[in-house]
Amino acid sequence: AENGMDWMYANCSTTAQRGALDWWKKFRDATKPVFENLYEEVAAGREAQKSIDSNSKEDYRAKLEEELKELRESEMWKAGATVRQLRPENSKVEAELAEE
């Protein structure tokens, strides 16, 4: 089920809520030019054309895998994987206690 941003925000810790209040305008301002550029690329059809061109090449799958590997091995991606392992539902201790 999708609960939406209001639900997610209401169910965050007060620390996370405080951070959101303190930082949202800075993140909005920092990312706005990126999203405007993305919108222009999509509206002009360049993003779709890039996908069509890439997907039409014989070595598409291999090149895609190279790019995905680079993303998977990035510091940000690895940090996300580490954080997800720390979730209570992913904890080995939690699983062992549930078995007892």
Ranges of each domain in the chain: 25-56, 60-100
pLDDT band at 44 (very low <50, low <70, confident <90, very high): very high
**Picking from 27-31, 63-67, 93-97, which range would have the lowest pLDDT averaged per residue?**
93-97
Per-residue CA distances from 18 to 9, 10, 14, 57, 68 (Å): 10, 12, 6, 48, 34
Q: Which residue has the higher pLDDT, 5 or 50?
A: 50
CA–CA gap between residue 32 and residue 39 (Å, rounded): 10
Q: Which residue has the higher pLDDT, 92 or 65?
A: 65
Contact predicate 20/12, CB 8 Å: yes
